[in-house]
Amino acid sequence: MQYDYLVLGSGIAGLTFALNAAPHGSVAILTKKQRSESNTNYAQGGIAAAIGPDDSWELHMEDTLRAGAGLCEPEAVRILTQNGPRLIQWLVDLGAEFDRNPDGTLALGMEGGHSRHRIVHAADHTGWEIERTLLRAVRNTPNITLLEHYQVLELLMEGDTCVGAQVLDTLTGDLFEIRAHAVLLATGGCGQVYLHTSNPPIATGDGIAMGWRVGAVIANMEFIQFHPTTLYHPEAQSFLISEAVRGEGGILKRRDGYRFMPDYDPRAELAPRDIVARAIDAELKKTGDPYVYLDITHLDPEFIKRRFPTIYHRCLEYGIDITREPIPVVPAAHYVCGGVWTDVWGRTTVRRLYACGEVAYTGVHGANRLASNSLLEALVFAERAAQHATTRLDEEPPQPHYPCAPHEPFAPNHTTPRAEPFDWASARTQIRATMQAKVGIVRTVERLLQAERELYALARQIEAAYLAEPPSVDSCEVRNLVTCALLIIRSALLRKESRGLHTVMDYPEPDEAFAHCPTLLKRDEKGGLYPAPTQAGSG
């Protein structure tokens, strides 16, 4: 197949890019599941934009920079916050139905880390509403083809230029190539690298791993945002309890009823996510309890049902009436603030390869993403990527201003193919369990080194099995998961400080030597696919 523009992923970033590129040529959107399955669809809270009468993009920028703990790229944050109100209006013009006040103005919520009410929302299913709106627009755009059930195996390269993708039809098993003048990675994050995550099963870090394998620079993978509040229930599969619940007055309590957040931050429940997640983690370790409570029973029951219908009905399915009893919650992996490095036009370091959304590192989130900035980031930079790809495609690819981090030599490319079948499900579980136990909210160098050695050994087995078998969704996803896991660990070992979402007990304080400097990794062209284990003690 041949298209002008190839989009890998059907979330808000991919759909926005496609709609903006379609007037300039043919666009194919590939998704490995159904068209509506994406992290966008699971975003409950909302989308931040400075549209209130007491708000400004400067205040939104200030809040974003503060949450980012010294690692945000100010120019990227300025672009994000200045374009927010205009792109909210674009969604409204496309037909998005956001909640409104009685006077017809958009209803604006408050969330942790924000100094103003600026969260535009559609009850507690904002991501679903945006996805629905964009998919309808895509269906009405003749130049766009949406292809479902296609697993991308690798990016296609000719010299230093990305020219398409090798694709597996997951329904038939057929392999083929799709070529394009420009390729966009919009594949989302890698939450499935952890045992407990708010992300859907498709979030296996495919775009980050594929970008790594073709030599794209990867940035700040140590900064994994754990959402403080996911439903604790054996059957709930880490169902997210939105940030907006705390924004509307939800109170965090231990099982003995003690409200603990004021002990950790003067903003209490409205502190940024990293602070709240660490506080819950500390309380769980202190008490030995498996969860804490998020209590909104003091709010009007009808307001709760109207404002949080999805959460109310889902909790009710598990026998929890949130209007009468508190919600048991635990932190879970939610968002990766790093990813494939890009400039402010969505360009990666690989010619004609772009990246937008959670797969990308734009510099907007720094060491900690401000709540409800993710959907906005996907909108803003997908639009800019489409503008660049349709008008300035032949420009030289950008390079970061900072050097890539030094590292040990990489593992050799070649492994001995295996004869016996490989247990992909078991390997997936091992990756996720190791990451959960040793690379979680609070880390130590010793546990990071243990995790790296274990997963590197597993990666060698995975690569041998991948070469020996016909490709499948399982083998592709597990291979990508272990790549992302090793990138997270290597990045965490290189940052010898605690900052934002990265807390390591051996280096409990921020270090100015690491301020304003992202962690950058790039595959050694002479080496193999995975970073080799760090030498003992070198970190």
Query: How confident is the model at residue 410, as a pLDDT?
Result: 45
Last residue of a domain, one of 289, 304, 331: 331
Query: How confident is the model at residue 395, as a pLDDT?
Result: 94
Neighbour count for residue 214 (Cβ, 10 Å): 17
Query: How confident is the model at residue 539, as a pLDDT?
Result: 38
Asked if residue 415 has pLDDT above 70, the reply is: no
Q: Do 59 and 100 sit in the same domain of this protein?
A: yes
Q: Do 8 and 69 sit in the same domain of this protein?
A: yes
Q: Could you say which of 116, 246, 273, 443 is catalytic?
A: 273
Could you tell me if residue 76 is inside a domain?
A: yes
Asked if residue 421 has pLDDT above 90, the reply is: no
Q: Do 126 and 255 sit in the same domain of this protein?
A: no
Q: Do 197 and 102 sit in the same domain of this protein?
A: yes
Could you tell me if residue 509 is inside a domain?
A: no
Last residue of a domain, one of 288, 315, 331: 331
Q: pLDDT-based confidence at 536, cuts 50/70/90? A: very low
Query: How confident is the model at residue 404, as a pLDDT?
Result: 75
Q: Do 286 and 242 sit in the same domain of this protein?
A: yes
Mean pLDDT to the nearest integer, 204-219: 96
DSSP letter, residue 496? -
Q: Do 176 and 203 sit in the same domain of this protein?
A: yes
Query: How confident is the model at residue 8, as a pLDDT?
Result: 97
Closest CA to 480 of 422, 436, 532, 431: 431
* pLDDT, tens only, 294-314: 999 999 999 999 999 989 999
How confident is the prediction for the chain on average, in pLDDT? 91
DSSP letter, residue 270? G
Closest CA to 168 of 141, 149, 185, 182: 149
Q: How far is CA 318 from CA 60, 231, 239, 314, 350, in A?
A: 37, 10, 11, 7, 47
Could you tell me if residue 480 is inside a domain?
A: no
Last residue of a domain, one of 354, 376, 391: 391
Q: How far is CA 415 from CA 80, 308, 465, in A?
A: 44, 51, 9
| Ramachandran angles phi, psi of 494, nearest 5° | -75, -30
290 burial via Cβ count (<10 Å: 0-12, 13-18, 19+):
exposed
The H or E element spanning position 275 is helix 273-287
Q: Do 209 and 310 sit in the same domain of this protein?
A: no
Asked if residue 455 has pLDDT above 60, the reply is: yes
Could you tell me if residue 282 is inside a domain?
A: yes
Could you tell me if residue 527 is inside a domain?
A: no
Asked if residue 267 has pLDDT above 90, the reply is: yes
Could you tell me if residue 484 is inside a domain?
A: no
Query: How far is it, in rounded angstroms, from Cα 218 to Cα 402?
Result: 12
Query: How confident is the model at residue 44, as a pLDDT?
Result: 57
Return the CATH number at 201.
Answer: 3.50.50.60
Asked if residue 65 has pLDDT above 80, the reply is: yes
Query: How far is it, in rounded angstroms, from Cα 233 to Cα 106?
Result: 34
Query: How confident is the model at residue 527, as a pLDDT?
Result: 53
The two three-digit tokens of residue 362, written as one number? 């734009």
Could you tell me if residue 345 is inside a domain?
A: yes
Query: How confident is the model at residue 304, as a pLDDT?
Result: 95
Least confident range of 108-112, 160-164, 367-371, 412-416: 412-416
3-state secondary structure labels for all residues of 374-426: HHHHHHHHHHHHHHHHHHCCCCCCCCCCCCCCCCCCECCCCCCCCCCCCCHHH
Q: Is 213 a catalytic residue?
A: no
Could you tell me if residue 459 is inside a domain?
A: no
Q: How many helices (H) and strands (E) does the chain have?
A: 14, 20
Q: Do 235 and 375 sit in the same domain of this protein?
A: no
Helix axes 12-21, 126-139, angle to 10 degrees: 30
Question: pLDDT exceeding 90 applies to what percent of the chain?
Answer: 80
Q: pLDDT-based confidence at 138, cuts 50/70/90? A: very high
Q: Do 327 and 366 sit in the same domain of this protein?
A: no
The H or E element spanning position 284 is helix 273-287
CB of 71 within 8 A of CB of 220? Answer: yes
Query: How confident is the model at residue 481, as a pLDDT?
Result: 98
| Ramachandran angles phi, psi of 161, nearest 5° | -115, 135
In 10-116, which ranges are continuous DSSP H helix? Answer: 12-21, 39-42, 57-67, 74-94
CB of 480 within 8 A of CB of 204? Answer: yes
Asked if residue 437 has pLDDT above 60, the reply is: yes
Model confidence, pTM: 0.90
Domain that holds residue 273: 230-331
Indicate the length of the chain as a whole number: 539
* pLDDT, tens only, 326-361: 999 999 999 999 999 999 999 999 999 999 999 999
Mean pLDDT to the nearest integer, 410-434: 77
Q: Do 148 and 248 sit in the same domain of this protein?
A: no
Least confident range of 18-27, 73-82, 233-242, 323-332: 233-242
Q: Do 269 and 284 sit in the same domain of this protein?
A: yes
Q: Do 327 and 377 sit in the same domain of this protein?
A: no
Query: How far is it, in rounded angstroms, from Cα 471 to Cα 308?
Result: 42
3-state secondary structure labels for all residues of 423-487: CHHHHHHHHHHHHHHHCCCEECHHHHHHHHHHHHHHHHHHHHHHHHCCCCHHHHHHHHHHHHHHH
Query: How confident is the model at residue 412, as a pLDDT?
Result: 47
Q: pLDDT-based confidence at 528, cuts 50/70/90? A: low
Q: pLDDT-based confidence at 127, cuts 50/70/90? A: confident
Q: Which amino acid makes up residue 148?
A: E
Q: Which residues pair with 503 in a beta bridge?
A: 442
Query: How far is it, in rounded angstroms, from Cα 253 to Cα 245?
Result: 14
| Ramachandran angles phi, psi of 218, nearest 5° | -110, 135
| Number of structural domains in the chain | 2
Spatial neighbors of 257 by CB under 8 A, at least 6 apart, are none
Return the CATH number at 258.
Answer: 3.90.700.10
The H or E element spanning position 353 is strand 353-355
Mean pLDDT to the nearest integer, 40-53: 77
